[in-house]
Amino acid sequence: MENQDVYFIDGVRTPFGKAGEKGAYWKTRADDLVVKAMIGLLERNPEVPAEQIDDVAIAAATQIGDQGLQIGRSASILAGLPQSVPGYSIDRWCAGAMTSVTTAGSAIGIGAYDVALAGGVEHMGHHPMGEGADPNPRFLAEKLVDPSAMNMGITAEKIHDRFPHLTKERSDAYAVASQHKAAKAYQDGKIQKDLIPVSAASEQGWSLVTQDELLRPESSMEGMQGLKTPFRPHGKVTAGNASPLTDGATMSLIAGEHAVKKYGLKPKMKMVSFAFAGVEPELMGIGPIPSTEKALAKAGLTLDDIGLIEINEAFAIQVLSFLDHFGLADDDPRVNPWGGAIAMGHPLASSGVRLMNQLARHFEEHPEVRYGITTMCIGLGMGGTVVWENSNYRGK
């Protein structure tokens, strides 16, 4: 084996649906969402022989029911991959798909693999976050973890407490901007390029899901004013400035330079470095700050070298804390140019590859940008960041 560069070749996702009985995927299994994404990705990349895929890594935050049974392996079989292709499951909560990519990419980097599929799924309608969990009593009895760490909304409120200058008004404004940017991206046909339509059953019959279900293009600052604060009386976190509960799946094709040459692949971006970092669990939203600092240091870069940023919008306040730390404006055009999870949804373990899909598309449109990052916060106090180099870079 010998070391080799690691490339993001392609990525797709299902449209994201509203979690719950009124959502598009209420009668659709989580593993079928994964299968749909996997088949769609393979159909887009026929030059890669299915039997040459070295592994399939699929993440889910709640690995029971239709997200259990070692979904990396079971979904691969359901998708019709040769039985010689292995698979496995990953759990790092919100950063599951990101970890699928970095784990598979690491194996490719040392030459153990040449090609892998990596993605994630979350059916939050079937499996609410934390379903079936049994936290060790010592977490709380020995004060290892603050009780608020178990509720993501409360952790967001605590960021507001820690940084009072990051006001509710700023969070609301950021959220409205995310909705408007996503609406424009859809209007311009940007997002649809990487969506795999899904046939879904409902009480009314079958329908074809072709776009994210939770978009709110009509969002306004006035509309934000009267929303409830479910996590704290007179709080600052609302349904408007937080990502909604969502169902969906993502899938990516990751390959090394040997496979790129062998199959004539066209990489969209190269993995430069990645890092995960831990923070106080009750302030989990600040996790992208140290993970980004670590990933940039490993790459020998600073944020000044980064021309595009895709950060997961679990909560607007979480993004604002990141921007504030690095001295970026709330409306910095490099950040989430097409909006983010506040508009499109955040199906936990699948979101990491959505960020990569969008960054790769931004790179195509901006050959003058050399480096970008995908970054996100993670429940129980972590952050994850991947630094990418634009394969379309042509210099300034």
Q: What span, in angstroms and rounded, lies between the C-alpha atoms of 294 and 306?
A: 14
The letter for the amino acid at 129 is: M
Active site residue 180: no
Please name which of 387, 383, 243, 386 lies closest in space to residue 325, comparing C-alpha atoms: 383
Kindly list the distances between the CA atom of residue 312 and the CA atoms of 66, 88, 132, 197, 386, in Å, as whole numbers in the listed order: 25, 24, 26, 23, 12
Active site residue 346: yes
Active-site residue among 126, 160, 346, 362?
A: 346
Active-site residue among 94, 127, 160, 362?
A: 94
Neighbours of 256 (CB within 10 A): 26
End-to-end CA distance of the chain: 36
Q: Where are the alpha helices (DSSP H) in 45-162?
A: 71-78, 96-109, 138-141, 152-162
Are the beta carbons of 92 and 352 closer than 8 angstroms?
no
**Hey, which residues does 382 pair with through a beta bridge?**
278, 378
Active site residue 234: no
Q: What span, in angstroms and rounded, lies between the C-alpha atoms of 369 and 386?
A: 16
Residue positions annotated with a catalytic role: 94, 346, 377
